[in-house]
Structure formats: structure tokens, C-alpha cells
Structure 1
Amino acid sequence: MNAIAQLLTGLADASIRVVDLTNPLSSATPTLRLPEPFANLIDFSLETVSEYNEPGPFWKHANIHTGEHIGTHLDAPVHWVSGREGKDVAQIEPARLVGPAVVLDFAAEATADPDFLLTREHVLEWEAQHGGLPENGWLLYRTGWDQYSQDQEAFLNADETGSHTPGISAECALWLATERKISGIGVETVGIDAGRGAELDPPFPVHYHLLGNDKYGITSLQNLKQLPTTGATIVVSPLPIVGGTASPARVFALVQA
């Protein structure tokens, strides 16, 4: 039996399970709030055009209004100044969007300190125990933040000093972007950088280093606790928006049941 047939058989007999890693998208989905003078994207909304009535008696359909970086979404290199000559979301090769996924679980640390930063040493310790990060794979960074995914205030966790959400140190971001052959990083928070990422050097280092090195970021992931530490396969499905800096995405993981 070839590999495709094995996959289809596994899906049919439920020996392979599909885990949805996507935060449902609605007008209530928590979104990033940038401070003045920076401009914010519009939130997601649906505008009903017809609903089995005179404008469309046999159908219901709507217009979508949304910013690119809303809900679970994929950041493309062109989103950041360091990747401005890089790919838009439509130019990312499909093969880069499907691959092995590993979960680095630091939920306990993030619970104790919402400003917790993943360091290079953390990843090296993980690799010593589980093996190297997979080529063309995705590092999924579990912090337990998906528990706040339907609560705007808790999700951003902001006070007078700014947002307090876990992230990745500047040194680790550079190292992952240049020394590991991953396709990208997935997080449970509203953005791929820490809430206090503007205070690091460079500001927002995960955006700067990752997108500047033809790697990608996924935000607002869910259900990472349902995945094994290693052995899952991720499927990232953004809209191929020509010129797009990002796209809302449906993200799945295939795991052995």
C-alpha cells in the first residue's frame, strides 16, 4: 500500500485523527489592539446580502469584511520590513505549509509568568530529549493561552504598561530563523511575538527574524494540548491572496489515534 492509500485508510478507520487547531472566526474573535498613533485593522464581520428572500430567494450569502491578521492566521514574509522583498501569502509554496509538527510545552512557565520568553537554551534542552527540530517542520509553542481565545480582555492581558503575553526571546528568534530549517512557528497568542515584544532588540524579533528569513508564523492556535510532543503532521490552509501580507487560515493536525 502506498503512502497516500495508507493515509486514506487511516482517516477512514479513524487510526489517524484530525485535530482542528483553528480559533473559530466571528465578530467576537479577539484581535490585536495597537496603541496610538498606529492604525488597527478592522475586525471580522459578515454583511448579509440575501437570506432566502427577494434579493436571493433560493440562497443565503454574505460579504466578508476583515483585516488580514484576524483570528488564526498565517503571516507571510512581506508582512514585515525585513521581508519586504519576500513572498506574499499567495507565493508561499504549498509544500512549506504541510509538514511535521513538534510541540514545545511551556504552559506551566507561562501560567507562572505571562511575560515568559522561550530561549535558545530551552529549545536545546528540548532537542536533547526529543531530537532536532524537523526540516520543513513547524515548531508549535504551547503556553496554554488558548484558554483565553474567546475573551478579548484576557487574551490581550493588557494594563497601563502594555500587553503581557508569552513569546520568544530575540536571541532565540534569530537562532531559530537562521540555524534551524523549519518552515515556521505557531503560537496560541494574538501575535507571533510576546506582548512586550516592542521592548526587545530588535523590536518584535520573531516577526523581524522569522519573516526576514523566508519562514512563517501562525497565530491564535487552539488544542495544542491534544497533540503529541512529536509525530504530528500539520496542514496550514491560508487563502492565496495576491499581494496579501497574511490570511485567516484553517489549520489541522493529523495524529496517530
Structure 2
Amino acid sequence: MALVCLSVLIPVISGEMKVVDLTWAHSASTIYWPGNPAFNFSIMSREKLTNYWYESNWFSTPEHGGTHLDAPAHFSKDSWRTQEIPAERLIGPAVILDVTSQAKADPDYRVTQADFEAYESKHGRIPHGAIVIMNSGWGSRYPNKTRVFNSDQPGTPSTFHFPGYHEDAITWLVANRNASIVGVDTPSNDHGQSTDFKVHVILGENNIPGLENVARLDQIPEKGATIFVGSIKLFDGSGGPARILATFDQDAKPCDCVSSSSSIATFVGTSVLSVLLVSCIV
């Protein structure tokens, strides 16, 4: 009988462990796709009561704006809605695809299969359960709506020019690697000029969540970080705001961890004191 062990190395104490917040704060400046209502934040109470200070606020937001998660149901009717995404799909080893030079030369650039192959030539095979994110350098434009959409008409999607993935590259990734999430630092996993949103459709039909407007990707390594996606668990939702964190040992050389197709691989250096959690299924 086969023995399958699922291992997760969790760094708990390290003077060298770094945590980077990959999230833009939700506020009045949050960028939404045209046609969505604006973010709303209202103060209900901020006052000193007899024995304590008390605050309570009210806010409303569309699901898809700022740093957020797309549930597969966003573009696939029978796929996972937000609350149905398994928790283990929200944690995984980071794969950061640096296409900043390509995007600088061509704002309509779409990540290709060759970009994935180039990454693997440099860093090794994309691991099971990876959270794959394109870094196009677009984070430096946020939250300037004109610069993020790269258009003087930010209310007109047909004028948008920003990078994303090519549908052929995503088809290859889905067929050949077991990624948990696919994301970008731009407003959409599809490039700005897309009208059919094929990347969204392919990801949705394969139950792969998406991340958009991911922040500060230049502050984490292309390989070696672990990403945690704290998405709102909105019942019946097609997505929602997300707090995305990356952690890595900034002094350690990343190691490749052997994992099954359902395990979470993490990269932990020698200076990190870790707890090894092992769940074995016989």
C-alpha cells in the first residue's frame, strides 16, 4: 500500500525571515474596472466612551478591484465560488515571472510558454501547488488610474494597454504544471486589449483562482518565497478583496522541496527555526 506524506515547513522564529505585504490598501483611490461602483467608507462611530475608546465603520466594495482574488466562478458558471476554494490552494511556493523588460518594450506584452520555460531553465521546474505571478513592473503605476490602464480614457476598456498572459501559455501551464493560483501586477490576467478574456475562461474552467493588482513584487525573490492569500470568504461570491503576504529567508539559498501533487512546497533556509507538520495518508 502506498504511503503519501504531505509536509509543510512553517518558519516560526528567525531573525532573518522577511515578510512582504503584496497588497494595495482598499480606499477611495482603489482601481476598479469601468462600470463598477466606487469604494465607499463611512465612519459610524469614533468616540471616547466611559471606560474605553470605540470605533466602528461601514464600507462597501465591488468584488473585483484593487488587490483581489478572482474565484473560478468569475468566468466559469459551474466552477468554485469564493467560499468553495480549498484553503490549501491559498498557500504555496511563489513563482515570480519577471517580464519587466518585455513590458517596457511592449505594454501589450503577453507572457508566453517560452517565458515559463526560461524561468524553469533558471530556477528549476515550477513546483506543485505554485502561486504563479507575473511581474511586469506595473506596480510602480498604482494607483494612478491613467497609468495603470495605460490610457488617457480610463473609463473605456478598448483603449487599455497593459501586459497579461497569452492564452496558449496558460493552456500549457494548466496541462503540464499543477499551479494553485495564477496572478498579475496589472488589472487583469488577460492583457488590456483582450475582448474575449480567454485566460480568465481557461483558469475558471480548470478551477484555478486568479490574483490581480498584486503589489511590491520587486521586493520578493523570483523563487524561494511562500505566498499566503487571505481572501474574503464571501458566500456565493465570484471573488473579493485579498490580503496577500510573502515570506522568505532573505539570507538563505532556496532549496527545492520534494512534494506530492497535493502538497504545499515551501522554501526555508538554515537560519530559520521551523516546525515540521506531517500528515500521512496510507
TM-score scaled by length of structure 2: 0.80
Which consecutive residues of structure 2, in runs of 5 or more, have no partner in the other structure?
Answer: 1-6, 251-282
Report Cα offsets for 1:151-208 as digits up to 9, x if no partner.
Answer: 011111125752000011121122222322001112101122110121xxxx212101
Q: Hey, what does 1:49 align to over in structure 2?
A: 44
1:104 and 2:97 matched: yes
**Is residue 228–residue 244 contact of structure 2 (8 Å, CA) maintained in 1?**
yes
1:73 and 2:74 matched: no
**Is residue 24–residue 67 contact of structure 2 (8 Å, CA) maintained in 1?**
yes
Relative to total residues, which structure has the larger helix share, 1 or 2? Answer: 1
Q: Which of 53, 59, 68 pairs up with 1:64?
A: 59
Which consecutive residues of structure 1, in runs of 5 or more, have no partner in the other structure?
Answer: 34-39
**1:129, distance to aligned residue in structure 2 (A):** 2.3
Q: Which of 127, 151, 163 pairs up with 2:120?
A: 127
Q: Distance in 2 between matches of 1:205 and 1:252?
A: 28
1:170 and 2:174 matched: no
> Highest relative contact order (Cα 8 Å, sep 6+), 1 or 2?
2
Q: Distance in 1 between matches of 2:174 and 2:162?
A: 21
Q: 3-state SS of the aligned residue for 1:25?
A: coil
Q: Which of 127, 130, 133 pairs up with 1:137?
A: 130
1:78-97 alignment, distance < 5 Å: 78-80=73-75, 83-97=76-90
Q: Hey, what does 1:206 align to over in structure 2?
A: 199
Q: Percent identity?
A: 31
Moved over 3 A (4+): 3-6
One-letter amino acid of the structure 1 residue matched with residue 17 of structure 2 = I
Q: Distance in 2 between matches of 1:9 and 1:47?
A: 39
CA spacing shift, 1:164–1:48, aligned 2, 3 Å: same
Q: Which of 173, 180, 183 pairs up with 1:183?
A: 180
Q: Hey, what does 1:24 align to over in structure 2?
A: 25
One-letter amino acid of the structure 2 residue matched with residue 69 of structure 1 = H
Q: Aligned pairs, how many?
A: 238
Q: Distance in 2 between matches of 1:4 and 1:113?
A: 39
**1:4, distance to aligned residue in structure 2 (A):** 8.1
Q: 3-state SS of the aligned residue for 2:114?
A: helix
One-letter amino acid of the structure 2 residue matched with residue 32 of structure 1 = W
TM-score scaled by length of structure 1: 0.87
Q: Hey, what does 1:9 align to over in structure 2?
A: 13
Q: Hey, what does 1:226 align to over in structure 2?
A: 219
CA spacing shift, 1:138–1:6, aligned 2, 3 Å: closer
**Is residue 174–residue 205 contact of structure 1 (8 Å, CA) maintained in 2?**
no
